[in-house]
Structures are given as structure tokens and as C-alpha cells.
């Protein structure tokens, strides 16, 4: 087939001859040329011709909202079961933790000589854990206040 016939069959701009100097490895990109067809935007229908969708869209939205994703399953598994919802108030939580620390300290003082070493180490580990948690909570509270203050 003749190159002129190929050019006539081909749609778009005519091809330019290739310069081998442009494609040598010691020269970077010189020029990038792109050709795009210009698409005319489709006009929206007049507002008077748009009718609201009843029923089907609500069902579709409900199925999308109720769709179980990996993230929602993971959150459901990791969400703690809180029986006393008042513990979610920070002041009540801190009061309960302080009361627990006090009762553990009293239990350690009362049972120091009367219990086995395993229980004594368990109570001391619990007290250390509560102290560490209290320190972390105080640090988080300081960060929160610093962020709020700006």
C-alpha cells in the first residue's frame, strides 16, 4: 500500500518524519505532543424535565449504607462492650480509675503477708499498669489542651 493511501485512511494529523537525533540516549525529552479530540459537553436537561426518583433510590442508598466492609467489621469486633455508659464521660472515668487504684493499694496493704507471691505480683503489676495508664491519660489531656489553645 502506498504511504499516501495509508495517510488518507488514517484519521488525525499527518505524521512527521522521525529524526533519529531526538531519540538518542544522551539527550533527554525535548518535546511532548498530545492530540485530543475536542468533545462537546452534553447539556443538562431543563430543570422542568427532571422528575424526582421515588422508592428505588432510597432502597439503593439503604443497601449501600448497610453494606458491611472490612473496616466496619473490624470496628464492630474491636468496639468494647460498655455496660455503664456513664464511664464514657472523662470525669467519671478518671474518678473510677482513681477509686480502682485506691482499692488495689488497700488490697495490697491488707493482704501483703497473707497471700501467695503470685497474687502479690499480680496486684503490683496491676498497680503499675494503672499508674502507667494514668500517666498516658494525663499526657493526652495536656496534648488536647495544647491543641485547643492553639
The pLDDT tens digits along the chain (150 residues) read 555 555 556 666 677 777 776 666 777 677 777 777 777 788 887 877 777 766 777 788 888 888 888 888 888 888 878 788 887 787 888 888 888 888 877 877 777 666 667 777 777 888 888 888 888 888 888 998 899 887
Q: Which residues contact 69 (CB under 8 A, 6 or more apart)?
A: none
Contact 134, 101 (CB under 8 A): yes
CA dihedral 58, 60, 64, 65 (to 10 degrees): 20
- The full set of domain ranges for the chain reads 52-149
pTM: 0.38
Amino acid at each position: 500500500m502506498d504511504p499516501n493511501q495509508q495517510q488518507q485512511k488514517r484519521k488525525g494529523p499527518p505524521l512527521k518524519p522521525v529524526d533519529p537525533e531526538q531519540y538518542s540516549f544522551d539527550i533527554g525529552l525535548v518535546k511532548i505532543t498530545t492530540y485530543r479530540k475536542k468533545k462537546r459537553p452534553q447539556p443538562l436537561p431543563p430543570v422542568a424535565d427532571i422528575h424526582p426518583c421515588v422508592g428505588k433510590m432510597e432502597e439503593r442508598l439503604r443497601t449501600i449504607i448497610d453494606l458491611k466492609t472490612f473496616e466496619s467489621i473490624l470496628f464492630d469486633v474491636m468496639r468494647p462492650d460498655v455496660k455503664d455508659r456513664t464511664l464514657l464521660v472523662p470525669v467519671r472515668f478518671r474518678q473510677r480509675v482513681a477509686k480502682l487504684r485506691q482499692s488495689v493499694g488497700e488490697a495490697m496493704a491488707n493482704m501483703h503477708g497473707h497471700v501467695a507471691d503470685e497474687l502479690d505480683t499480680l496486684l503490683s503489676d496491676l498497680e503499675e499498669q494503672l499508674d502507667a495508664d494514668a500517666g498516658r491519660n494525663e499526657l493526652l489531656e495536656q496534648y488536647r489542651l495544647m491543641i485547643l489553645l492553639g
